[in-house]
Structure 1
Amino acid sequence: MNYVFEWFKLGASSGRVVAGGHEEGNQTNQLTYVTKVIVDKNGTMFICDRDIMQVKRWFKDASHGEILIANISCWGLAIDNKETLYISDFEQHLVITWPGGQVVAGGNGEGHALNQLSEPNHIFVDQDQSVFVTDFHNNRVTKWPTGAKVGIVVAGGNGQGDDLNQLNGIKYSKIM
């Protein structure tokens, strides 16, 4: 997808392009493969553009965005109640914050130990700034309380499968 579309109201049959809409590319007015878009309370969009390995910030009604982070294999984004942005990097197997670049989940290489992640993708941050991460290759969701060095398995973690204590295919699902 090389654009972000806005719908005006529930059931609308049309909307308008609010980001991108030009050819695919790595210019500040272009997008390539968007995996996540979030919007802050001011209407500013944060866009994870996976194929060009960038996180962009796109202010409301702007004709182009700006590159916040380059060279990151982002998949997921979240924002907390203090306006801190969280980004999952599925090649570095971690979740970082912006601004600051603090590692808040993973960061100890790829693996299955509780201080590691394996292709983290979707993330959610609760009101206490605990970070919940879908950990694709480990078939689990982990919770990382503020300052934690290890995650807590809150779902799955028992191999891939369809049993009640397993997860299967969490890469393309969302946690809310």
Structure 2
Amino acid sequence: MKITQQLNNPSNTSIQQSSPSFINEISVIQLKTGGYGRGRGQRLNQLNGPVGIFIDDKKNIFIANSYNQRIVERKYNANEGQIVVGGNGQENQLTQLYSPCGLSFDHESNIYIADFASNRIQKFDVLV
């Protein structure tokens, strides 16, 4: 309850640095409830079960969209996303995802996806 009150009143919130910083900038992005404000669904301006995100240096957002079995990239200030991995149904084949729940990138722009229901981590080549 105290955290909720502090988040609702940001003038009372402060950040103190007590160790070497590894985060240079923190951005808070508030999307309307239910995807991109268009309700729950499968269209490219909708999400269904977003459970993990990654924000790149260009402020593009990559979303592990678990119930739609896909990773969606939403370019900074775009109105809708594009599928970068998955979207081919719910199975454990190499081109499919089955409840992706997390993602990360390496320095060569490979994306690593935690594919929950398939009990695997998948690596994909994605040009960002």
TM-score norm. by structure 1 comes to 0.49
Secondary structure of 1:117 counterpart: coil
Amino acid at match of 2:62: Y
Match of 1:9 among 17, 20, 29: 17
| Partner deviation per Cα, 1:31-64 (whole Å, 9 max, x = no partner) | xxxxxxxxx955312xxxxxxxxxxx1xxxxxxx
Secondary structure of 1:91 counterpart: helix
Tell me: CA distance 1:124–1:8, structure 2 relative to 1, closer, same or farther (3 Å). same
Structure 1 runs of 4+ off > 4 angstroms? 1-7
* Gap regions ≥5 residues in structure 2: 8-12, 41-46
The CA RMSD measured in Å over matched residues stands at 2.9
Which of the pair has the greater relative contact order for Cα pairs under 8 Å at 6+ separation? 2
Using the TM superposition, give the Cα deviation of residue 85 of structure 1 relative to its aligned residue in structure 2, in angstroms: 1.0
Using the TM superposition, give the Cα deviation of residue 135 of structure 1 relative to its aligned residue in structure 2, in angstroms: 0.3
Match of 2:99 among 109, 113, 119: 119
More helix by share: 2
Tell me: CA distance 1:66–1:139, structure 2 relative to 1, closer, same or farther (3 Å). closer
Using the TM superposition, give the Cα deviation of residue 82 of structure 1 relative to its aligned residue in structure 2, in angstroms: 3.1
Instruction: Quote the residue 2:36 is aligned against.
Output: 69
Out of 91-100 and 123-132, give the one that drifted further: 123-132
Using the TM superposition, give the Cα deviation of residue 145 of structure 1 relative to its aligned residue in structure 2, in angstroms: 0.5
Out of 130-139 and 100-109, give the one that drifted further: 100-109
Count of residue pairs brought into register by the alignment: 101
1:18-167 alignment runs, 5 A limit: 42-45=25-28, 57=29, 65-67=30-32, 69-70=36-37, 71=40, 72=47, 73-99=49-75, 100-146=80-126
Given that residues 77 and 86 in structure 1 are in contact (C-alpha distance below 8 angstroms), is that contact kept between their aligned partners in structure 2? yes
TM-score norm. by structure 2 comes to 0.64
Given that residues 105 and 131 in structure 1 are in contact (C-alpha distance below 8 angstroms), is that contact kept between their aligned partners in structure 2? no
* Gap regions ≥5 residues in structure 1: 12-39, 46-56, 58-64, 148-176
